[in-house]
Amino acid sequence: MDTNDTAYSAAKLRDYIQGEVAHNTDLYPHTGIVEPRSPASEMLSYMESIYQPGGDLPPDLQATRAAEDLRRAAASEHVGSSVKDIPAFAVGLTEKDAEISDAQAFAEIQNSLINNHAPYLAAIFGSPNTGKSSLATLYAELWEQLAEIKYPDTPEPVIISNAASIGCLDHHVQDVTEFRELLFGSEDWFESDGEDGTPPAVDPETPVFWIFDEASTHLDARTNSYEVANQYTPLLKRFAKINCDAVHIGHSGYDIHAELRRDTLMTEFLFKTSKKTVEVYASMDEDQGAEKKYELTEVPKPSHWIDPDDFASWSWE
């Protein structure tokens, strides 16, 4: 991309601030405080664009706990650094712009995760060593920052997985009974809609992000068809009632039970084509993605480490 096409002058910035550039809005409060074009800056910009105060939430995003924590952490690294690129940053462009930047990737992912405040349910497919688990961890990290906006006036969010090595994990579960009791209560509680039995260990108002690893094995369309249809899918369909979002990590679409390939249940289907690239689809046709939404060619790494060789166990008993 030509530098002349991507860099804006100070005069353009003045037009921008004065509202004379129709497609832009005012500078966000974090401009000049958080490092330009950093993931934190882009996340704050996106959060500003979708923030809708309500209930006990502050009138401005910058006063929320999520924004304060993110801004404070990012600003501590930015103090004393040069701000000579602020004019270019203000319009989202710099001389070093790439076709798809980390910032753009964050913005696309965040838009998906918010999902108009509806549950986000996704399946990630890809060959070994393409970074599927890292992508799921990245989604969990971003989701955790956005939870206060997607689920206002709720307890602290938690991240759950059957993969023990995920660094940002709050709960590790290894079987369907443990999973159900954690989020939905005992079987009697679940079946009676809370009339009988033991309530869930996690408050139903708590935002939850569930990472189901090794889905090609545990949600297999052949050997575990009955268990998926009768034990897991009924839980999945109730995720909206407990503020739960989820990603399922597999290899091939054919490996996964048909229930988890339906766009009436799932939000997106992510195909990890390499460590840096992912194609995102709205639906599936047989084993392939259909209705392509977007492609990311520079997927950022998550902050937390995950062991790609760690086998995530699961039992249906």
Asked if residue 307 is part of any domain, the answer here is: no
Q: What is the value of pTM for the model shown?
A: 0.70
Q: Do the domain assignments include residue 64?
A: yes
Question: What strands lie across the sheet with 171-172, from one edge to the other?
Answer: 171-172, 158-161, 208-212, 244-249, 121-126, 268-272, 278-285, 288-296
Please state, as a whole number, how many other Cβ atoms lie within 10 Å of the Cβ of residue 62.
Answer: 17
**Mean pLDDT across the chain:** 78
Q: Is residue 310 part of a domain?
A: no
Does the pLDDT at position 94 exceed 90?
no
Nearest to 255 by CA among 289, 291, 229, 223: 223
Instruction: Specify if 188 maps to a domain.
Output: yes
Whether 129 maps to a domain, the answer reads yes
What 3-state class would DSSP assign to 298? coil
Residue 274 lies in a domain: yes
The answer to whether residues 40 and 166 belong to one domain is no
* 31-35, 119-123, 184-188, range with greatest mean pLDDT: 119-123
Res 3 pLDDT > 90: no
Question: 103 and 42 in contact (C-beta within 8 Å)?
Answer: yes
Where do the DSSP E strands lie in the chain?
Answer: 121-126, 158-161, 171-172, 208-212, 244-249, 268-272, 278-285, 288-296
Q: Which burial class, exposed, middle or buried, applies to 129 when counting CB atoms under 10 A from its CB (0-12, 13-18, 19+)?
A: exposed
Confidence band, pLDDT 50/70/90 cuts, at residue 67: low
Domain-embedded: residue 302: no
**Domain membership flag for residue 301:** no
pLDDT tens, 26-47?
A: 444 555 455 666 666 666 676 6
In a shared domain, residues 148 and 272: yes
Give the domain range for residue 62. 3-97
Residues 14 and 125 in one domain: no
The pLDDT > 70 percentage for the chain reads 69
> How far is the C-alpha of 181 from the C-alpha of 208, rounded, in Å?
14
What is the count of structural domains for the chain?
A: 2
